[in-house]
């Protein structure tokens, strides 16, 4: 078998447990099969192993509880942070003072980071080797659920044959859409993607987190609750008109 073929098989075999990976690659080397049949054998084993993983309840809990339910809530906070960061950058008038606005953004960013980290921990701990699927669903739900909501509400028009001004009517627009829906291009996107990815990778590597590591998410859930409450209190106080705006004046009712 050619060197490139072995490289391909070695990459593919990473979907298996490390011990089994070596044994199976050794068997394929010994049998002297070509890249095609060896790939078929390897894919067959990977599919069987993945199906076997989904016979347990843990990956389902990760998929439904974290990748679907928690991810939708997190996506709303990520979207909120995104909008508020844009407003702040554009000098959009709000009823908060400059210091309060920065404090609000920092609290929101902290909540996004801590929540994402917690989701990453739970995904890694529950999913095992099915993590590639649960994490992908989690990532795309958080990144794109606001976008999907706007498309469904008609705020974003993907294709319009009459005006040819919709997103998918030009190559540039299509490429931009592809990038926006697949990459965490905003600061809020980075704040959610990296902690979640880093923590999932760490937990999958550890395999069985100890009591101390398992206590961390509990602590972080408590902390993020406090962060969100602080941020919410800041916003509510400003809505009541009790705090002056950046220029020192109170906003009109």
Partner 1 sequence: MLGEFEYLLLSAAARLGEDAYGAAIRREIEGATKRRCAVGALYTTLDRLEAKGLVTTWMGDPTPQRGGRPKRMVRVTAKGIQEAKGFFRAVSRASRGLSWAIDPVKVP
Contact partners, residue 82, CB within 8 Å, separation at least 6: 186, 187, 188, 189
Contact partners, residue 110, CB within 8 Å, separation at least 6: 224, 227
Residue 17 found at the interface with partner 1 (CB under 8 A): no
Q: Name the segment binding partner 1 (CB under 8 A); options: 46-54, 67-75, 209-217, 238-246.
A: 46-54
Q: Which is nearer to partner 1, 25 or 108 (CB)?
A: 25
Q: Which is nearer to partner 1, 45 or 177 (CB)?
A: 45
Return the structure tokens found at 184: 């965490």
Of 35, 49, 58, 68, the residue at the interface with partner 1 (CB under 8 A) is 49
Contact partners, residue 73, CB within 8 Å, separation at least 6: none
Of 5, 12, 39, 41, the residue at the interface with partner 1 (CB under 8 A) is 41
Contact partners, residue 111, CB within 8 Å, separation at least 6: 77, 224, 227, 228, 231
Handedness of CA 116, 121, 124, 125 (dihedral sign): negative
Residue 9 found at the interface with partner 1 (CB under 8 A): no
Residue 28 found at the interface with partner 1 (CB under 8 A): yes
In whole angstroms, how close is the CB of 177 to partner 1 at the nearest point?
38
User: What does the alpha-carbon distance between residue 17 and residue 120 come to, in Å, rounded to a whole number?
Assistant: 21
User: What does the alpha-carbon distance between residue 112 and residue 181 come to, in Å, rounded to a whole number?
Assistant: 19
Residue 188 found at the interface with partner 1 (CB under 8 A): no
Of 25, 105, 130, 188, the residue at the interface with partner 1 (CB under 8 A) is 25
In whole angstroms, how close is the CB of 207 to partner 1 at the nearest point?
18
User: What does the alpha-carbon distance between residue 50 and residue 115 come to, in Å, rounded to a whole number?
Assistant: 28
Residue 47 found at the interface with partner 1 (CB under 8 A): yes
Q: Which is nearer to partner 1, 11 or 89 (CB)?
A: 11
Q: Name the segment binding partner 1 (CB under 8 A); options: 41-49, 173-181, 192-200, 221-229.
A: 41-49
Total residues in contact with partner 1, by rule CB under 8 A:
21
Residue 22 found at the interface with partner 1 (CB under 8 A): yes
Residue 42 found at the interface with partner 1 (CB under 8 A): yes
- The count of residues in the chain is 253
In whole angstroms, how close is the CB of 34 to partner 1 at the nearest point?
14
Residue 24 found at the interface with partner 1 (CB under 8 A): yes
Q: Which of 96, 116, 112 lies closest to 104 in space, CA to CA?
A: 96
User: What does the alpha-carbon distance between residue 62 and residue 132 come to, in Å, rounded to a whole number?
Assistant: 12
Geometric angle at alpha carbon 135, from 133 and 140, rounded to 5°? 95
In whole angstroms, how close is the CB of 57 to partner 1 at the nearest point?
18
Q: Which of 150, 147, 85 lies closest to 112 in space, CA to CA?
A: 85
Residue 64 found at the interface with partner 1 (CB under 8 A): no
List contacts with partner 1 (CB under 8 A): 19-20, 22-31, 41-42, 44-49, 52
């Amino acid at each position: 078998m050619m060197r490139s073929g072995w490289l391909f098989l070695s990459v593919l075999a990473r979907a298996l447990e490390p011990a089994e990976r070596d044994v199976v690659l050794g068997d394929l080397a010994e049998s002297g099969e070509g890249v095609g049949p060896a790939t078929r054998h390897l894919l067959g084993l990977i599919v069987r192993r993945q199906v076997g993983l989904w016979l347990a309840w843990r990956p389902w809990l990760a998929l439904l509880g974290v990748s679907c339910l928690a991810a939708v809530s997190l996506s709303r906070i990520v979207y909120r942070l995104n909008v508020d960061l844009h407003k702040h950058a554009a000098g959009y008038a709000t009823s908060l003072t400059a210091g309060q606005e920065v404090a609000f953004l920092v609290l929101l960013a902290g909540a996004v980071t801590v929540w994402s980290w917690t989701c990453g921990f739970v995904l890694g701990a529950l999913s095992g080797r099915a993590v590639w699927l649960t994490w992908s669903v989690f990532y795309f739900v958080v990144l794109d659920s606001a976008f999907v909501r706007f498309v469904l509400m008609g705020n974003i028009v993907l294709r319009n044959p009459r005006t040819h001004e919709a997103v998918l009517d030009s190559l540039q627009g299509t490429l931009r859409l592809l990038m926006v829906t697949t990459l965490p291009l905003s600061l809020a996107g980075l704040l959610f993607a990296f902690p979640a990815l880093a923590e999932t990778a760490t937990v999958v590597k550890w395999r069985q987190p100890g009591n101390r590591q398992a206590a961390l998410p509990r602590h972080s859930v408590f902390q993020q609750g406090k962060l969100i409450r602080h941020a919410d209190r800041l916003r509510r106080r400003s809505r009541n008109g009790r705090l002056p705006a950046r220029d020192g004046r109170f906003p009109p009712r």
